[in-house]
Chain A
Amino acid sequence: MHYLLRLFVQRLALGLLTLFVVSLVIFLSIELLPGDVAQQVLGQSATPENLAAFRRELGLDQPAHTRYLSWLGGFLQGDLGNSLISGLPIKDLISERMYNTFFLAGFAAVISVPLAVLLGVIAALYRETFLDKSINVATLTAISVPEFFVGYILVWLFAVELGMFPSIANLSEDASLGDRIYRTFLPALTLTLIVTAHMMRMTRASLINLLALPFIEMAQLKGASQRRLIVIHALPNAIAPIVTVIAINLAYLIVGVVIVEVVFVYPGMGQLLVDSVAKRDFTVVQTACLLFAATYILFNLASDLISIASNPRLLHRK
C-alpha cells in the first residue's frame, strides 16, 4: 500500500504540473481570441475614453503576464475572480452549475458504466452469436446518431408520446433528490446511449483477447464454466483497459455535454461556457476550462491508480 501512496503523490504532483501548463495554454489561446469585452459591453457607440476607463476598471489595461499571474494567484487562493460582464463572483456563478453538471454526469455514469460492462461481458460470453451482434448493432447505432437527435427522439417518445418524463430539465435550486432524478432522467439516458458503446466494446474486446491465453484454457481444463471463465478468470485481468476507457468516457460526460444541455435546457457548465464565449466573458471561460482540465487529469489519475492496483505484477514486486 505504501507503494500505491507514493505513486499517488507522484502522479498528483505530475497532474499539478500538467494543470499549470494547461493554464498557460488556456490563457494564451484566450489572448489570441478576437473580440473585445469592453466593446461588447459598451456597444459600438462607446467613446475611446469610455472604453479605456472600462478596461482600466477590469484590469484589462495591464500587460498579459501580470493578468495571468494575478489570475493564477487568485485561483490558488480559492478566489476565482469576477465575471467581466456581470461583475458577479465567478465562484457563485459556477458552483451551482458545476454541481448540476456533476449530478447529471454522475447519474449517467451510474447507469452507463455497469450497463456497459455487463453488456460487454454478455457479448463476450455469447460472442459471435445473434445476441452479441444485436448488442453491437444497438450500441453502435446509438453512438452513430448525433446526440441532439438521440435527445429529441427520447423527448418525443418519453415526453410527448408517453408523457412519462418532462422534456425540459430546468431545475430549481431547492429541488429534492427525487425531483432532480425525475427531471434529469431523459438527459441522463441520452448520455448513457452515447457513452455505452465505447465502454462496452472495450470490455468485450479485452475479454475476448484474454480468452486465447493459456491460463484461460487452464481454467477451462480445471472445469470452470463459461460464465466463471469470463467473470472470475478473465475480467480481473481486463480491469486496466476497461478502466482507462471508462475514465475517458466519464471525463467526456462532464466536459462534452454541451449539446445535450442545450437540447434539454439544462443549467450546466457546458451552457455557461458557450454563453461566456459568446459574450467574451473571458475570465469565466478561463476558469471553466481550467476546471474541466482538472477533472480530466483527476479521472486519468484515478484510472492509472486503479489499473496499477489491479495488476499484482505492478503492485507486488518480486
Chain B
Amino acid sequence: MTDTQTPLLVMQNLQIEGLSEDRWKPIVKGVNLTLGKGEVLGLIGESGAGKSTIGLGAMGHVRDGCRFSGGTVHFDGIELTGASRETCRDLRSTRIAYVAQSAAASFNPAFKLISQHAEFPVRRGLMQREEAEKDAIDLYRQLQLPNPEEIGFRYPHQVSGGQLQRAMTAMAMACRPDLIIFDEPTTALDVTTQIEVLSAIRNIVEEFGTSAIYITHDLAVVAQMADRIMVLRYGEEVEAADTATMLNDPKEEYTKSLWAVRSFKAAQKAPVAEAQVPVVSLKNVTAQYPGTARPVLNDISMDFHAGRTVAVVGESGSGKSTTARSLMGLLPPVQGEILLNGAPLAPEFRKRSKAELQAVQMIYQMADTALNPKQRIKDIIGRPMTYYRGLRGKQLTQEIRALLADIELEPDQYMNRLPSELSGGQKQRIGIARALAASPKLVICDEVTSALDQLVAEGILRLLDKLQKEHDLAYMFITHDISTVRAIADEVVVMQQGRVVEQGAKEAIFSPPHAPYTDLLLSSVPEMDPAWLDRVLADRAAAQG
C-alpha cells in the first residue's frame, strides 16, 4: 500500500540548533528526508544522533532552547519551520500525531485515559464526546487491550506500562492522522511486553494506511516496523535505503559497526571445583517489605564464586534488584541466610562489620545520579579507599592513579574533573572504579549497561571482564537484556515475580528444553530478520490454537 510517488512529508536540508552554554550549536545538520503516503520510515542512531529532534521537527516543533536554523519541512505542501503556532497547532492530532517514549510520563496523571483520548477529536469538532469515547473503545479493542470497555475510564497510574503505550497509540489514532511519529515507543518496556506493543502498532498502522516515522536505537525493532531505514549520526544522515537492502548490504562503516551486533563474548571459564567455597551465597532467602501481605522474594538461592559471573535476568518487577538489596542488607531476609566465605552475615547492613561491608560493592544503572555532582573524581574514588583500606596522602594518590589507569582513563586528565565533565560511558567507568576502590570480593552490577549506547556498553562489558580476571572478582550481573547475558554470564538465574524460574550454567539455560517462562523471554528478544515478528506471532498462535 506504499505510495512513494506523492510524498506526504519532505524535509530539505533541515537544520536545528540548540543553545548550550550561551551558544547556538547545531544538533541537526542538514537532513533530507522524503516520506510517502502509507510509508513507515525508521530513524535509527545512538543517543545524540538527533533522531527525536528530527521527529519533532516533522511536527513543526522544537524543544525549549532549540530553534530551526535552516532548510524546510513540507507536510502535504505546508511549510512548517516558518509556520505560525496556529498553523502547526491545527495540524497536530488531526493530521500529525505523536507517540512518546514513556507513556507513563506522557499521560496527564490528573485525567482518565479516555478523556485525554477524546480531548482533541471533540475540540476540533470531528466528533461528539460520546462518539469519541465509542471510537476510543473500538481502538482499544483493535489494539488488544484487556477490558477495552473499561480501561479508558482508569487513570494512567492504574494501567501498566505496556497497556499505556497501546492506549497512547490509540490516542494518536483518535483523529485518524496522516502521519504518526513514534519516538522510541517500546524502549521502556520489557521484551515480552514489547512484542505485543510492536504487533499492535504495526497492525493498526497498516489497517489505516497511516504514514509513520519510527524512531529507535534498536535495529532488530526497526527491522520489524519500517519499510525504509535511515541511519543517523551526529545530526547527519549516514545512509538510507529500504529495509532489506539496509540489513543485508549496508554501505557505510558506521552502519556495519552497528549491524555487527555484540561481537564481544567473555571467554568460557573452567567449571567450579566441588570443594570451592562461594564468596557469597544466598540460601533459601525469602524477603518481605514490612507491613505487606506477600513476600517479594521467595526461596532464592544463589552462589557467587570468585572470578565468575552470575547473570540474573527477568522483567521489571521480577525481583532482580530486590535480591541485590536483600544481599546488601537493605531489605533483611525474613527467612534463609546469607553467607560470606561460608560464614553467616547479619541480615541487616547496620549490624555488619566494616570488612563484611567492604566485601560486597555495587555499581548502579544511572551513573548520572549515582555520582555526587559536587565531588571531583579523585574524591569519589578516594573516599572508599580511605574508609575501607585506610589509605591516605601519597599512597592514596598513587592508588587512585593506578585505578584510573585500570579503567582506561588517563589519570592526569581525569583526576580533578567533576562528573558533569564526563560522557555517559566515562561516568559508568567511574562508577566501576568506585566499587573497585574498596577491593571487594563480590560486585553487584545493576543494569550497568542499560542506559548506554550499544558501542559504549560493549566497552564497559570488556572492561568488566578484564577487571574480573585481574582481581578475581565475583559478579552478580543484573540485567533484562538477553544479549548482554549471552556475552558475559557464566551462570544464569531467570527470575519471575520474586521466584527463581530456572538457574544453571549459561549453556544449559540457553539450549532447549527451556522452562516455559524462559522460552517466552528468549523468543521475545527481537531479531534482525524482518520476518521475525510474524514468525513469533504465528508460532505463539499455533501453540495456543
Contacts and interface: CB of A to CB of B under 8 A. Distances in A.
Interface of A: 213-215, 217-225, 233, 236-237, 310-313, 316, 318
B92 A221 contact: yes
B289 to A, nearest CB: 16
A213 B105 contact: yes
Chain A contact residues: helix, strand, loop or mixed? helix
B98 A218 contact: yes
Nearest to A233: B108
B179 to A, nearest CB: 12
Interface string B119-140: 1100010000000000000000
A222 B115 CA distance: 13
B94 interface: yes
B155 A312 contact: yes
Contacts of B102: 214
28 contacts: A213-B105, A215-B105, A215-B108, A215-B109, A217-B63, A217-B106, A218-B98, A218-B106, A218-B107, A218-B108, A220-B61, A221-B59, A221-B97, A221-B98, A222-B92, A222-B93, A223-B89, A223-B94, A225-B89, A237-B108, A310-B110, A312-B109, A312-B110, A312-B157, A313-B157, A316-B154, A316-B158, A318-B157
A316 B92 contact: no
A214 B103 CA distance: 9
Q: 9 shortest A-B CB distances, which residue pairs? A: A223-B92, A236-B110, A221-B98, A312-B155, A214-B105, A218-B106, A214-B106, A223-B89, A215-B108
Contacts of A215: 105-109
A128 to B, nearest CB: 11
Which one of B94, B107, B109, B120 has the highest number of Cβ atoms from chain A below 10 Å of its Cβ? B109
Which one of A237, A310, A312, A318 has the highest number of Cβ atoms from chain B below 10 Å of its Cβ? A312
Contacts of A224: 89
A318 B91 CA distance: 36
Nearest to B92: A223
A237 B110 contact: yes
Interface string B34-69: 000000000000000000000010010101000000
B167 to A, nearest CB: 12
Which one of A217, A222, A311 has the highest number of Cβ atoms from chain B below 10 Å of its Cβ? A222
Nearest to A313: B157
A236 B155 CA distance: 14
A215 B111 CA distance: 11
B519 interface: no
Contacts of A236: 108, 110-111
A217 B66 CA distance: 14
B120 A223 contact: yes
A202 B61 CA distance: 29
Contacts of B107: 215, 218
Contacts of B59: 221
Nearest to A235: B110
Contacts of A233: 108
Given A218-B100, A316-B155, A223 B106 contact: no
Contacts of B63: 217
